[in-house]
Chains A and B, each alone.
Chain A
Amino acid sequence: MTTYLIRRLLQTLVILLFVTVIVFMIMHLLPGDPVRIMLGDEATPEQIELMRKELGLDKPLPVQYLSWLGDVLQGDLGRSIAYKQDVNELVAKRIPITFHLGFSAFILAVIIGIPAGVIAAVKRGSWIDSLITVSANIGMAVPTFWLGILGVYLFALKLGWLPVQGYTSPFEDPWQSFRQSVMPIILMSLTALASLTRQTRSAMLEVIRQDYIRTARSKGLSERRVILGHALRNALIPVVTLLGMQLGFLVGGSVFIEQVFNIPGMGRLMVQSIFGQDYVVVQSVVLIVAATVALANLLVDIAYGYIDPRIRYR
């Protein structure tokens, strides 16, 4: 188990290292000149040169990369050009917001998606299976930003049940926070929810065919125990392994939802920084997101190393 842990940990570190290289390379293909944006149009060539030197942008790319990597490893993401603020501060204010919405959406996806998949598989071919399968298919295909707009139209503008936009922390005003975040959370969970439902359904159908399920049934176990005790446990292995990927879906979705509902989270920061050509912020956001997904995958794998002995010996 220890070797497995160490190997997975090293793998994650290597992946993250490659992520930093990719992110750095992408950002240094950026067309705009960050220095010119910082100083404005009236800057003289001398001023621009001076600033470039100050930021280390005159050095060769590998040197720039290493010095950036060094800073990142020490927890310093750099300084935003557009906000004229440390990226750490910018991000620290926004991570809790995206985390609040994203984590709630994740929980929602798990507590609805997995049971829905189990019900669909157990009642295969029935109207309830069709209903769940069709809904999951639609959930995978619907553009969440569009559904968000429909939601705003119906629940906020037409019916007036919910506020149109904005974000309030649940610690500040729980009721207002709930009213503002209920739609964003549901929408953010949608793709992951649909995908989890589909995966659980196929995994359950796969497992129900196995011999040990027939054995469990012929032992006279109740159908409930066969499904929940034997089938679900095994079917969940592939589903849980892909939970890290679901997190990726969620984070991707947060970009659209935060845009539609005007929520000041990480996704919106990303969009605004792209338009502001604020490459320091963009590369930080990408890095944080990738690190989150990679760490989530690591945690899932470690958890599974404990639960499923086969995985340790792969």
Chain B
Amino acid sequence: MTTQATVTSQQQAALTELPPPSSSFKRFLRVFLARKVVIVGLLVILALILMAIFAPVLAPHDPYAQNLANSLQKPSSEHLLGTDLLGRDVLSRIIYGSRVSLMVGIVVVLLGGTLGMAIGLISGYFGGVIDSILMRIMDAIIAIPMIILAMALGAAMGGGITNVILALGIAITPTYARLMRGQVLSIKQQDYVIAGELTGASNLRNILVHVFPNSISPLIVLITMNLGMAILAEAGLSFLGLGIAPPGAAWGAMVNDGYRYLLAHPLLSVAPGLCVMIVVLAFNIVGDALRDALDPRLRGD
């Protein structure tokens, strides 16, 4: 009788210690927003999104309108950041450039993420030869540095935004494939899946049902980190002239265009590069904070 009472009081103690379900989100927010810099990062990302959506409203001039009489103007009240060689307003081109960066970042991650998760799922589920072959292909892709792979793919397919996205998407695929495969393998070891298999139940559904909820945290972290990485890589490719073709406004290409007039007009190169850095930094900071809040185990990586 007494033992039973003790157990109950212990259970009660345990119950009161357990946080109510709603507070887990609060706890997440508390860790996530612990540092002020994370809020700044979130604001930068929000500003980028708004800038991309409302570019036509925000841009003071047409980003493509050439006016050779107005070439290489110093900053003025009319052109806050001056004009480029073709007389185009630099500020307007930067505002429009946010569209390229944001779109490339998002689509690359969606593409690479979906492709990688599908491969990881197939690899982990079927195992055996299929698993070995798929994983060795992923190893081979990883052995080629991202920017080199993207350059080679870009060379094969021609430049342009679609091919940049495809190339970078393929380059990030292995990370997602490995993550997903790991999840599937660990779920396959669970007793209920093995039990289901023994009773003849299809375990693909079972695995799918359990894999996704378990993978959400690492996925969100990976996606945020890769957004910044993709934006940086796109800027690099555009800088080399392998990305967005002229007259499209991409920050990396603008840095390159300005390089020739560096001494007289440093702002032409400095301003768009600064934008790349601020945006990538914001995604990285938010990614770090998400990792700390969602999946502290990843911190050791």
Contact = CB atoms under 8 A, between A and B. Distances in A.
Nearest to A22: B140
Contacts of A157: 262-263
25 contacts: A11-B139, A18-B137, A23-B152, A26-B156, A29-B157, A30-B156, A137-B281, A137-B284, A137-B288, A141-B232, A143-B232, A143-B239, A146-B273, A149-B262, A153-B269, A157-B263, A202-B299, A252-B147, A255-B240, A270-B151, A271-B240, A274-B151, A274-B242, A275-B241, A277-B155
Contact of A290 (B143, B256, B273): B143
Interface string A248-280: 110110011001100000000011001101010
B236 A143 contact: yes
Interface of B: 136-137, 139-141, 143-149, 151-158, 228, 232, 235-236, 239-242, 252, 255-256, 259, 262-263, 266, 269-270, 273-274, 276-277, 280-281, 284-285, 288, 299-301
| A18, A142, A146, A277: residue with the most chain B Cβ atoms closer than 10 Å | A146
Interface residues of A, number: 58
A19 B284 contact: no
Contact of A14 (B136, B148, B152): B136
B255 A143 contact: yes
B145 A18 contact: no
A18 B148 contact: no
Interface string A207-218: 000000000000
Contact of A145 (B144, B154, B239, B284): B239
Contacts of B139: 11, 15, 18
A193 interface: no
| A203, A260, A274: residue with the most chain B Cβ atoms closer than 10 Å | A274
Given A202-B300, A271-B151, A294 B284 contact: no
| B137, B239, B263: residue with the most chain A Cβ atoms closer than 10 Å | B239
Contacts of B263: 153, 157
| A141, A153, A205, A238: residue with the most chain B Cβ atoms closer than 10 Å | A141
Contact of A274 (B137, B155, B228): B155
A279 to B, nearest CB: 8
Nearest to B153: A26
